[in-house]
């Protein structure tokens, strides 16, 4: 008996990537309140509100660093002392979640809720933003929790490296010089009165509320207006945020961790912020250098040399400034070799340019993932809120993706070499100074200094 021939189906051929653009919204303003951006996403039954207040750490008074972070956390304690658990339960009964955070630029409130319960969730949010208790006892507890958190951050080499990088790159007069969440000294001195004064000076007219989801219901716009209309500041205007540039020069700063078997390395350099036309090109360059396991840093330091489990490179987004950062952990005994090889890779764009296939791969990785990355209302609202907080406008995400797709090897190389001077990088090495100082000095790359982590203000 003859076996029937096995018939194989033809291998499917990939088709063209479907056309996609970042969702657009409808701009407006709540009467006597924040600007608004409503983004209708049919079928997205989870609505996401992002309320961006122009009250980030950059607007804290000198010596009050950490107030914005404590204010964000105190808001989640609700409208009466010790009411945090009660507030969380009230949102959970609606199937909703409320989060709050602060960075250098803004204090942000994030509400996620089924669209069918948007109105009552906005009413509950309104009670928080208008009548938060900001109680002395709650703030004292949050201060203790933040101090414990600072101690944990001290023990994390990646956090410690980034904190030291900012402290070295930005002058002492700049708010970016100090940790966003405050130092041990500044946080320890904060009180409920400081938090209430800071929040009382928040100007709702400077805020932006981004609402995304299936907003076909007639009451979505009215509910947002009702929640935020007539909300006013009660205190004086907050200080203006500074925008001092980074101070780039060749140097190596060692943060001593005696006995450490690894060194956490961070290479940093100032770049323009996202208002620059070169920002999308710098994003592509960063991906070429450290955007994945096939990137140049990983090809040499991980795959060929075996110094590390992985290195990565990217851009730190800040208002008025940006940072190019490449970082990762290496074995202590190869710290100097890893720095030398890392510098070789970071200089390779100037020396060798960028291959078209390499550029195309990075462009696809950054742009083609966007439809999946921004599939949810939560992701769309967060990106538009971040653009609003940084004064970029609602059209920025779409324009950024268009610019990434248009990137060419020559323009990417020119942007990188024009803004990143690889002979003026700041290098932070968090590791055993007794083991790594001599080899790092032998490299001859700028001055080498050692910082005692226990002597520095932390955050």
Q: Which fold has domain 26-228?
A: Cytochrome Bc1 Complex; Chain A, domain 1 (3.30.830)
pLDDT at 2 over 80: no
pLDDT at 458 over 50: no
Summarize pLDDT for 373-424 with one digit per residue, the tens: 999 999 999 999 999 999 999 999 999 999 999 999 999 999 999 999 999 9
Summarize pLDDT for 431-444 with one digit per residue, the tens: 999 999 999 999 99
Average pLDDT (48-77) is 97
pLDDT at 17 over 80: no
pLDDT at 459 over 50: no
Where does the pLDDT of residue 454 fall: very low under 50, low under 70, confident under 90, or very high at 90 and above?
low
The residue written with tokens 């955050």 in the block is 459
So what's the pLDDT on residue 456?
A: 46
Instruction: Determine what percent of the chain is predicted with pLDDT higher than 90.
Output: 86
For the chain, which residues make up each domain, given as ranges?
Answer: 26-228, 251-455
The backbone region for 182, taken as left when phi is positive above 0, alpha when psi lies in -120 to 50, beta otherwise, is left
Q: Would the CATH topology of 26-228 be identical to that of 251-455? A: yes
What is the distance between the alpha carbons of residues 78 and 107, in angstroms, rounded to a whole number? 16
Mean pLDDT across the chain: 94
Summarize pLDDT for 177-201 with one digit per residue, the tens: 999 999 999 999 999 999 999 999 9
Summarize pLDDT for 341-377 with one digit per residue, the tens: 999 999 999 999 999 999 999 999 999 889 999 999 9
So what's the pLDDT on residue 320?
A: 86
So what's the pLDDT on residue 364?
A: 94
Question: How large is the C-alpha radius of gyration of the chain?
Answer: 25
Instruction: Determine what percent of the chain is predicted with pLDDT higher than 70.
Output: 97
pLDDT at 81 over 80: yes
pLDDT at 60 over 60: yes
Distances from the Cα of 316 to the Cα of 104, 283, 427, angstroms: 12, 10, 16
Q: What tokens appear for 133 in the block?
A: 């208790």
So what's the pLDDT on residue 107?
A: 97
pLDDT at 19 over 80: no
pLDDT at 455 over 60: no
pLDDT at 218 over 70: no
CATH class assigned to 251-455: alpha beta
So what's the pLDDT on residue 233?
A: 87
Average pLDDT (80-86) is 92
């Amino acid at each position: 008996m003859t076996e029937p021939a096995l018939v194989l189906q033809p291998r499917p051929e990939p088709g063209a990537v479907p056309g996609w653009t970042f969702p657009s919204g409808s701009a407006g303003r709540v009467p006597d309140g924040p600007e608004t951006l409503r983004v209708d996403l049919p079928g997205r039954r989870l609505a996401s509100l992002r309320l961006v207040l122009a009250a980030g750490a950059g607007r804290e008074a000198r010596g009050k660093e950490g107030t914005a972070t404590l204010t964000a956390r105190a808001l989640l304690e609700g409208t009466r002392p010790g009411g945090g658990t009660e507030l969380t339960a009230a949102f959970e009964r609606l199937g909703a979640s409320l989060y709050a955070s602060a960075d250098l630029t803004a204090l942000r409130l994030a509400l996620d809720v089924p669209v069918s319960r948007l109105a009552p969730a906005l009413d509950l949010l309104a009670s928080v933003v208008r009548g938060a208790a900001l109680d002395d006892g709650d703030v004292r507890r949050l201060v203790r929790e933040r101090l414990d958190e600072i101690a944990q951050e001290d023990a994390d080499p990646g956090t410690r490296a980034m904190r030291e990088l900012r402290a070295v790159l930005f002058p002492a007069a700049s708010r970016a010089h100090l940790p966003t969440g405050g130092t041990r000294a500044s946080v320890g001195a904060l009180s409920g009165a400081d938090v209430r004064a800071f929040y009382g000076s928040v100007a709702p007219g400077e805020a932006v509320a981004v609402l995304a989801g299936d907003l076909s219901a007639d009451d979505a716009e009215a509910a947002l207006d009702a929640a935020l209309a007539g909300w006013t500041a009660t205190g004086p205007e907050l200080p203006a945020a500074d925008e001092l540039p980074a101070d780039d020069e060749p140097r190596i700063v060692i943060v001593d961790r005696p006995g450490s078997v690894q060194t956490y390395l961070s290479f940093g350099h100032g770049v323009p912020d996202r208002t620059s036309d070169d920002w999308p090109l710098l994003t592509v360059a960063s991906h070429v250098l450290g955007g994945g396991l096939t990137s140049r840093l990983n090809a040499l330091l991980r795959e060929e040399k075996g110094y590390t489990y992985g290195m990565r490179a990217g851009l730190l987004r800040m208002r008025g400034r940006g940072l190019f950062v490449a970082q990762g952990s290496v074995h202590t005994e190869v710290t100097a070799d890893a720095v030398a090889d890392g510098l070789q890779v970071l200089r390779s764009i100037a020396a060798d340019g960028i291959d078209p296939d390499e550029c195309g791969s990075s462009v696809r990785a950054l742009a083609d993932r966007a439809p999946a990355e921004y599939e949810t209302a939560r992701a769309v609202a967060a990106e538009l809120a971040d653009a609003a907080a940084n004064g970029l406008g609602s059209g920025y995400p779409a324009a950024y993706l268009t610019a990434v797709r248009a990137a060419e090897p020559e323009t990417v190389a020119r942007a990188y070499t024009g803004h990143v001077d690889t002979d003026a990088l700041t290098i932070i090495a968090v590791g055993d100074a007794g083991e790594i100082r001599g080899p790092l000095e032998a490299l001859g790359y700028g001055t080498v200094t050692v910082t005692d982590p226990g002597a520095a203000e932390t955050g």
